[in-house]
Amino acid sequence: MKAGQTYRARIELAPGCDLESRQERQLASLSLRLRTPDDQGKWSWGAWSQAIALPPAVCASLAQGALPQAPTLREIRGDDGSRVAVLDLTLEVPARYVSPLEQETRVLGWDWGVRSLITVSILQRPEEGDEERSRQVSRPVFLDTGGIDGRQARLRREIDRLKACRDRYGQFVKEAQAAHQEHGVPLPAHLAGWQQRVREYDARISQCWKSYERRNRELAHLASNLLILLALLSDCRLICGEDLRTLKTQGRGRGVRGRFRNWRNNTTVRGELWRVLKYKCHLLGIRARQVEARGTTHTCPRCGEPAKTYASAAPEDRTQAISWGPMLCCSNPECLWKGARDYAASLNIARLGMAFLLTYQQTRRYESYRVTSSEVNSCLYSGQEATLLLPSQGITPRPREGKHVYYAGWSYTIALRTSQPREVLAILSTSHLRKDVLSSA
């Protein structure tokens, strides 16, 4: 114990065969040896435990040359008093080669949307003779999480209701105890029941928060996988997203819905998505960069002039601007660009990333810009190049009826929307594509 050794771990590799695919693969098992006291109270090493089969992902990493690090043995206590021992096996895996910025020509920009979780657009570096204007080489992709947002909102309301009930019975307990201590009033017969109710409400609130955080983590992994998938399919190695650490929960949006969406975006970015996206990009050889979000949702991506947002692009709905409106309409008579607010924001973020890329290629310096900077050029749309490098899947896509194509494993809760053909969108939502592209990156 003085040497800090509380257990020993041993990993054994052995060749095996998958019965379904009939392919050879490496199998790995883990054995533990704990340091425990004997009958006389003397600490000594016990016998090795039975071999614990490791998951296929760990076996694949070990076969590729990953080095095992010191595991971490910890304990998780459940709300019902249960205790579970968890062993975190840490592996040092080789990171993918990151290509120099001099070779990069494309930038992926994504924005936290008003009506969707994220919106993705990709820009191409301007060629000679293009008047230094970037070209859009992808159609916008929207990740719609309306079903999950509804569940999260209902769960938040349930948490608020449970807190109100807990505070009510907690107030009863405080008043009874105060009256007993100050005036000698006997404790009521229902005091034990009130205290039991407070404990039960605390346990239910804890369970609700765990469910809420688990959904946020799943959303973070889903959004990061989609961003990496679109970047690899478009041959892009630079991902830029807005930094929302300065976003305030209050003072934005209209009503409870806007405040909840703002709170959801802020906590998700801080808690999970950027952390998950950065380490996945590090493993796949992709750069992830944060840019300043100020002004990206109220600037025209085509001419760079300030623009207002409205309820819709129809002339009758453009009499009064709405700060949280879903449609952005440029009032510049030489431009008159119209489009979704989230779409425009993703283009502006990609423009910021393109300005960073061009500045480095010209001066070898890392510079951060705002959307109002003169170095940030406008962008053009090239419809003939807005295609994805989709590999052959060998499957027949079966899109569902309606305007959305639902993501695999998230039926009727998370959907993809874009102007791409429905066959391409259906293939983009399949799990086979994600596995093939991420494994071959």
Q: What is the pLDDT of residue 421?
A: 80
3-state secondary structure labels for all residues of the chain: CCCCCCEEEEEEEEEEECCCCCCEEEEEEEEEEEEEECCCCCEEECCCCCCEECCHHHHHHHHCCCEECCCEEEEEECCCCCEEEEEECCEECCCCCCCCHHHCCEEEEEEECCCCCEEEEEEECCCCCCCCCEEECCCCEEEECHHHHHHHHHHHHHHHHHHHHHHHHHHHHHHHHHHHHHHCCCCCCCHHHHHHHHHHHHHHHHHHHHHHHHHHHHHHHHHHHHHHHHHHHCCCCEEEEEECCCCCCCCCCCHHHHHHHHHHHHHHHHHHHHHHHHHHHHHHCCEEEEEECCCCCCECCCCCCECEEECCCCHHHCCCCCCCCCEEECCCCCCCCEEEHHHHHHHHHHHHHHHHHHHHHHHCCCCCCCCCCCCCCCEEECHHHCCCCCCCCCCCCCCCCCCCEECCCCCCCCEEEECCCHHHHHHHCCHHHHHHHHHCC
222 vs 64 pLDDT, higher one: 222
Q: What is the mean pLDDT of residues 204-221?
A: 90
Q: What is the pLDDT of residue 146?
A: 83
Top mean pLDDT of 100-109, 254-263, 314-323, 412-421 is at 100-109
Residue 261 has pLDDT above 60, yes or no: no
Closest to 240 measured CA to CA, from 70, 131, 371, 94: 371
203-212, 244-253, 257-266, 338-347: least confidently modelled range: 244-253
pLDDT digits (tens, 9 = 90+) for 127-152: 776 567 888 888 899 999 888 888 88
pLDDT digits (tens, 9 = 90+) for 101-126: 999 999 999 998 767 889 999 999 98
252 band by pLDDT with thresholds 50, 70 and 90 = very low
How many whole angstroms separate alpha carbon 369 and alpha carbon 374? 9
Q: What is the pLDDT of residue 20?
A: 74
Q: What is the mean pLDDT of residues 32-46?
A: 84
pTM for the predicted model, two decimal places: 0.83
150 vs 230 pLDDT, higher one: 230
What's the burial of 263, exposed, middle or buried (CB within 10 Å: 0-12/13-18/19+)?
middle
Q: What is the mean pLDDT of residues 273-288?
A: 90
Q: What is the mean pLDDT of residues 180-187?
A: 92
167 vs 59 pLDDT, higher one: 167
Q: What is the mean pLDDT of residues 76-86?
A: 84
Residue 267 has pLDDT above 70, yes or no: no
Residue 265 has pLDDT above 70, yes or no: no
224 vs 380 pLDDT, higher one: 224
* pLDDT over 90 percentage in the chain: 37
Q: What is the pLDDT of residue 262?
A: 56
192 φ/ψ angles, rounded to the nearest 5 degrees: -65, -40
Residue 33 has pLDDT above 80, yes or no: yes
Residue 5 has pLDDT above 80, yes or no: no
Q: What is the mean pLDDT of residues 369-386?
A: 80
- Under a CB-based contact definition with an 8 Å cutoff, are residues 309 and 300 in contact? no
Residue 384 has pLDDT above 80, yes or no: no
324 band by pLDDT with thresholds 50, 70 and 90 = confident
306 vs 324 pLDDT, higher one: 306
Residue 270 has pLDDT above 70, yes or no: no
Residue 402 has pLDDT above 90, yes or no: no
Top mean pLDDT of 5-14, 146-155, 350-359, 401-410 is at 350-359
Q: What is the mean pLDDT of residues 228-238?
A: 93
